[in-house]
């Protein structure tokens, strides 16, 4: 190590110590030896933890926590606990120090605050889109300890003050974030000085040229303002002196940000704004005489200048919600210009600048943590209070930043952002595709809800899954996120593909049986014949037995190739009708005007199947029963119990099966029963529940109970049975 570097390091050590001593001097609330010891300990821990780290500017990292602690003590007015936490605020996140270390070394309160701070910044850096989310998290942390927010504000203020050494894109990101999230928060907490500085600094990096322009112009016009203020206040100062009132006069221009805001939002030129300022008269006063003293000064001011009666504001009798107290009046100056005069005591001024945090100083002589806690509680209450306007700004945030997002939690407390309107199923897919695909329901805030349940911000969701579950077509109706939609569609596609493969096998066998080559041109011809867009759809329908393969027998085949009828013949009623029948009919039941999927049972009197026109009947003990509209009992039910009838409608879900009955007659023949059962179970791959038959004088009759998908399926099946040799009639029956 060179001598020069050594000297530099020695100098740095001195600088660090001097900054630390500056912090102690600024910590006016820290009175006892014990408290100073604790601060020293925090300083030593932070110094050691950050010893090898440097800021972007090249400075030792410890400068930052010391500066933050100093803002916390001096500009916000917090006590020892906050100073300690400010010193340690980056240790758990960036160094080897753990929360347990903090708890052991300093205590549970400190460890909890550091935990809050670490959590906030931990998620803050990830991306721009996470800002709002993390800000919300920060607000949620409020209920634990509002000091987390105050220290975070101090941290942000120091980062803004030292933003110059960051990369430009980072500067923009941090400046925007500050303007949108932190400045309004500071305003809410009554920290006007900090709010104003945050705004100005944000502008400096966001609109550098305009910022410089306004600040240059303000500098140039400073002398004019000072002269004006001196002249204007001269008679007042004389009167105050004559009364032996000790006071201070400040002439404050608007902040650069608020001037910029006026120029941009209200289109007022700089020339009309720069001399808009308030003259502040701050007096020393006894606590008991504050109000009277302020009005006394008001009376002096208006002795010289004419007040505008509409512009008198008495925030002393009725302080603002955030604690602001002051007497405002606007008077006419000799030059014909309105000037706002703010009259307040030192105590009020400090509260105006530092917010609630300044209260402690005046509350009790021997203030302690309990006292501190009580006003921290007050801030928290003000932020949590929904009765008055205390939460206005948070509502604005919701409107501006959270309007299209909700924030929900996993059972472990992890935060997830979802678009507004997201359901439990969206959340499940957000967690993992597998979780989404096998989701059968969820517990929201420990309560069982269906997949379609719409989530609200703050909900905690536990997803319930089952290995047997598969994505369903109707899931698409109640998911919002692109992720869930695409995952469900993919899964459905996969399922169709799988079924289509079976269909392809079936079709291959069928075609080879008919001596039709399984070649592309033939498949294309079949697609055309059955009016499908692609072969997969064709195969799928074949597998689901949703098309009439009997048509194949009627096809004109030459040398293994299908010769399709001319377009005119394609209009053939028979084909069209069959095609129409195989498409579009649904077979999942939705009930009521809202088309809900309620539990129901199928009436045994008419055995409805998908495609039937049906209605629901609310029974006394057996839930909703579904009847066919042409059920023998329908008229009686509808006329006597109209109020118990609910609308019911089939919708598509091709994988379900329903039971239906078929009666047939034929000429008794040894092979008949075999032929019928064989046709049903082998050729048609339909499951039979039961079959019964009897024979009478050579005439045979019987009934089969079958599982079918819907009416189309059933009628094509009936058609096929009619073709069985020896069969005379086939018809659907209602009852067994």
Enumerate binding residues for Mn ion (CB under 5 A). 90, 155
The residues, ordered by sequence, that sit 6+ positions from 40 with a Cβ below 8 Å of its Cβ are none
Q: In the complex with Mn ion, which residue's Cβ is closer, 117 or 589?
A: 117
Nearest to 363, CA basis, from 26, 29, 83: 29
Least Cβ distance, residue 65 to Mn ion (angstroms): 7
Select 90 or 177, whichever has its Cβ closest to Mn ion.
90
Q: Least separation, in Å, of the C-beta of 64 and Mn ion?
A: 6
Taking the C-alpha atoms of residue 637 and residue 628, their distance in angstroms, rounded to an integer, is: 12
For Mn ion, the closer CB: 4 or 96: 96
What proportions of the chain, in percent to the nearest 5, are helix, strand and coil? 55, 15, 30
- State residue 253 phi and psi, 5-degree precision: -80, 170
User: Could you tell me which residues come within 8 angstroms of residue 111 by beta carbon, excluding any fewer than 6 positions away?
Assistant: 99, 100, 102, 103
* Cα angle value 255/246/322 (rounded, 5°): 45
CB of 154 to Mn ion, least distance (A): 9
Residues 6+ apart with CB under 8 A from 17: none
Nearer to Mn ion, 37 or 54 (CB): 54
Rounded Cα–Cα distance for residues 570 and 564 (Å): 8
Is 294 in contact with 328 (CB distance < 8 Å)?
no
Q: Which of 12, 59, 94, 462 is catalytic?
A: 94
Q: Nearer Cβ to Mn ion, position 90 or 548?
A: 90
- Which residue, 90 or 200, has its beta carbon nearer to Mn ion? 90
Closest residue to Mn ion using C-beta atoms = 155
Using DSSP bridges, classify how beta strands 645-651 and 588-591 pair: parallel, antiparallel or unpaired: antiparallel
Q: Give the separation between CA 542 and CA 145, rounded to whole angstroms.
A: 66
- Runs of H (alpha helix) within 556-681: 567-570, 573-582, 634-640, 672-678
Q: How far is the CB of 89 from Mn ion (least distance, A)?
A: 6
| The three-state (H, E, C) secondary structure of 323-350, written as one string | CCCCEEEEEECCCCCEEEEEEEEHHHHH
Main-chain phi, psi angles of 597, to 5 degrees: -95, 90
Q: Which of 205, 197, 200 lies closest to 170 in space, CA to CA?
A: 205
- 137 vs 496 by CB, closer to Mn ion: 137
- 727-733: strand order across its sheet: 688-696, 699-708, 658-667, 727-733
Please state the separation of Cα 127 from the chain's center in Å: 15
Q: Does the annotation mark 94 as catalytic?
A: yes
CB closer to Mn ion, 72 vs 631: 72
Length of the chain: 736
Which residues contact residue 644 at a Cβ distance below 8 angstroms, ignoring those fewer than 6 apart? 617, 618, 619, 637
Spot the catalytic one: 15, 59, 93, 462: 93
Query: Which are the catalytic amino acids?
Result: 93-94
């Amino acid at each position: 190590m060179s001598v020069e570097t050594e000297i530099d390091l020695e100098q740095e050590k001195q600088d660090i110590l001097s900054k630390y001593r500056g912090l102690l001097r600024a910590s006016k609330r820290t009175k006892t030896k014990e408290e100073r010891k604790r601060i020293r300990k925090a300083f030593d821990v932070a110094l050691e933890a950050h010893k090898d780290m440097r800021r972007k500017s090249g400075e030792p990292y410890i400068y930052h926590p010391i500066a933050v602690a100093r803002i916390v003590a001096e500009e916000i007015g917090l006590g020892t606990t906050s100073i300690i936490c400010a010193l340690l605020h980056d240790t758990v996140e960036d160094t080897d120090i753990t929360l347990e270390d903090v708890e052991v070394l300093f205590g549970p309160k400190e460890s909890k605050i550091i935990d809050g701070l670490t959590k906030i910044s931990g998620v803050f850096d990830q991306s721009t889109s996470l800002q709002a989310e993390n800000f919300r998290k920060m607000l949620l942390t409020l209920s634990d300890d509002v000091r987390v927010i105050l220290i975070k504000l101090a941290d942000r203020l120091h980062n803004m003050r030292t933003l110059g050494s960051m990369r430009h894109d980072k500067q923009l990101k941090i400046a925007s974030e500050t303007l949108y999230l932190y400045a309004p928060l500071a305003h809410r907490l009554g920290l006007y000085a900090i709010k104003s500085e945050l705004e100005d600094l944000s502008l400096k990096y966001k609109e550098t040229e305009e910022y410089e322009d306004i600040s240059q112009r303000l500098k140039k016009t400073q002398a004019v303002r000072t002269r004006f203020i001196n002249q204007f206040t001269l008679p007042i100062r004389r009167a105050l002196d004559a009364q032996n009132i000790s006071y201070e006069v400040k002439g404050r221009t608007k902040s650069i940000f608020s001037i910029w805001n006026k120029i941009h939002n209200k289109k007022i030129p700089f020339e009309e704004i720069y001399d808009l300022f308030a003259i502040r008269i701050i007096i020393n006063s006894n606590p008991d005489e504050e109000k009277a003293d302020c009005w006394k000064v008001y009376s002096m001011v208006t002795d010289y200048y004419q007040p505008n009666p509409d512009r008198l504001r008495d925030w002393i009798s009725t302080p603002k919600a955030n604690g602001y107290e002051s007497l405002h009046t606007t008077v006419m100056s000799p030059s014909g210009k309105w000037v706002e005069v703010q009259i307040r005591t030192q105590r009020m001024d400090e509260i105006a600048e530092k917010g609630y945090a300044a209260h402690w100083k005046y509350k009790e002589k021997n203030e302690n943590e309990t006292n501190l806690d009580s006003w921290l509680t007050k801030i928290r209450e003000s932020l949590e209070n929904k009765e008055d306007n205390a939460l206005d700004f948070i509502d604005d945030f919701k409107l501006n930043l959270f309007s299209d997002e909700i924030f929900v939690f996993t059972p472990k407390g992890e935060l997830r952002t979802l678009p507004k309107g997201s359901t439990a199923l969206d959340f499940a897919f957000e967690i993992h595709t597998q979780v989404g695909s096998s989701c059968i329901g969820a517990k929201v805030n420990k309560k069982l809800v269906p997949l379609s349940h719409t989530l609200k911000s703050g909900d905690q969701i536990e997803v319930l899954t089952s290995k047997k579950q598969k994505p369903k077509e109707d899931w698409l109706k109640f998911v919002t996120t692109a992720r869930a939609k695409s995952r469900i569609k993919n899964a459905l596609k996969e399922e169709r593909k799988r079924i289509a493969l079976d269909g392809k096998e079936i079709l291959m066998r069928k075609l080879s049986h008919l001596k039709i080559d399984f070649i592309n041109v033939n498949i294309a011809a079949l697609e055309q014949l059955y009016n499908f867009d692609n072969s997969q759809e064709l195969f799928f329908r074949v597998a689901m037995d949703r098309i009439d393969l009997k048509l194949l027998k009627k096809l004109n085949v030459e040398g293994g190739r299908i010769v399709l009828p001319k377009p005119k013949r394609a209009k053939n009623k028979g084909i069209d009708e069959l095609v129409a029948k195989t498409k579009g009919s649904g077979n999942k039941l939705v009930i009521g005007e809202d088309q809900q999927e309620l539990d129901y049972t199928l009436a045994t009197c008419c055995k409805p199947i998908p495609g039937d026109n049906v209605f629901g009947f609310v029974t006394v003990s057996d839930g909703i029963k579904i009847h066919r509209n042409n059920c023998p009992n329908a008229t009686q039910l509808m006329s006597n119990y109209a109020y118990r009838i609910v609308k019911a409608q089939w919708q598509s879900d091709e994988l379900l099966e329903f039971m239906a009955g078929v009666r047939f007659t034929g000429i008794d023949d040894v092979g008949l029963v075999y032929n019928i059962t064989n046709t049903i179970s082998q050729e048609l791959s339909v499951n039979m529940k039961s079959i019964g038959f009897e024979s009478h004088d050579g005439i045979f009759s019987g009934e089969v109970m079958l599982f079918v998908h819907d009416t189309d399926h059933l009628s094509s099946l009936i058609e096929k049975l009619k073709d069985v040799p020896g069969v005379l009639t086939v018809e659907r029956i209602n009852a067994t």
